[in-house]
Amino acid sequence: MRGANLGMLMVAFLGSGERRHMVGTRLAAIVCAVLLTASPAAAQQTRYLVVPGVGIGPIKLGMSIATVAQMLGEPMPSDNLLEPGISEPNGTHGYSWRDRHVFVETNSAGTVYYVGAAMPGVVTAEGFGYGTDMDEVQDRLGVPSRMVPVGNSIRMIYDERGIQFAVSMLVGTDHYHKVDAVGVFAPRQ
């Protein structure tokens, strides 16, 4: 995104005229290519930035489910999909937007305390997200607070950071050992 904005500014500063526009467009493309290769997060075409302990993209912890529904549309109740390994307060409800691959959990007051997303382009500032190898996550963030097996995946939970990574453990697939989803919650000690 930074590259595209910088490129548009460069085209604007070069002035009018077809020749100048072509030069500006080429220069903008080169600048975009350099910036995209320099940033692991940008290489994934960041759709939603994951901020541990805060939220994913526009969905923030502490928002009401009504506010999230205004942004994403009407959710599907998904109480059967509550995230294992995340402590659920009484009155917890789960909601999903399967077409957007987004899931939230709310407390009895309807406030979001967990948000998860499972799609390419959902990445942290460090570039961790869908498709990242679990060893790369551990090399940079250290050993998780907890590892929780769930079906054909494992949850790498970093309680003190307020983030978890769901990692596929399906042997023989292209996604083996790679992050399938990212979830955010309030940090815990």
Q: What are 142-189's pLDDT values in tens digits?
A: 999 999 999 899 999 999 999 999 999 988 888 899 999 999 999 997
| The pLDDT of residue 91 | 77
Query: pLDDT digits over 80-111, tens only?
Result: 666 666 666 677 888 999 888 999 999 989 99
pTM to 2 decimals?
Answer: 0.71
| The pLDDT of residue 159 | 95
**Cβ count near 150 (within 10 Å):** 13
Spatial separation of the C-alpha atoms in residues 150 and 83, rounded to whole Å: 9
In the three-class reduction of DSSP (H, G, I as helix; E, B as strand; rest coil), residue 30 is classed as helix
Spatial separation of the C-alpha atoms in residues 161 and 111, rounded to whole Å: 20
| The pLDDT of residue 181 | 95
| The pLDDT of residue 82 | 63
pLDDT at 22 over 70: no
Spatial separation of the C-alpha atoms in residues 181 and 37, rounded to whole Å: 23
Ordered structural domains, the chain, with CATH: 2-38 (no CATH), 48-185 (2.60.460)
Average pLDDT over residues 114-128: 93
Query: pLDDT digits over 25-78, tens only?
Result: 333 333 333 333 333 433 445 689 999 999 999 999 999 999 999 999 999 888
| The pLDDT of residue 47 | 83
Indicate the pLDDT class of residue 9, thresholds 50, 70 and 90.
Answer: very low
Average pLDDT over residues 123-152: 94
Higher local confidence (pLDDT), 21 or 76: 76
Torsion, Cα 113 46 73 166, to 10 degrees, reads -50
Average pLDDT over residues 9-31: 35
| The pLDDT of residue 87 | 63
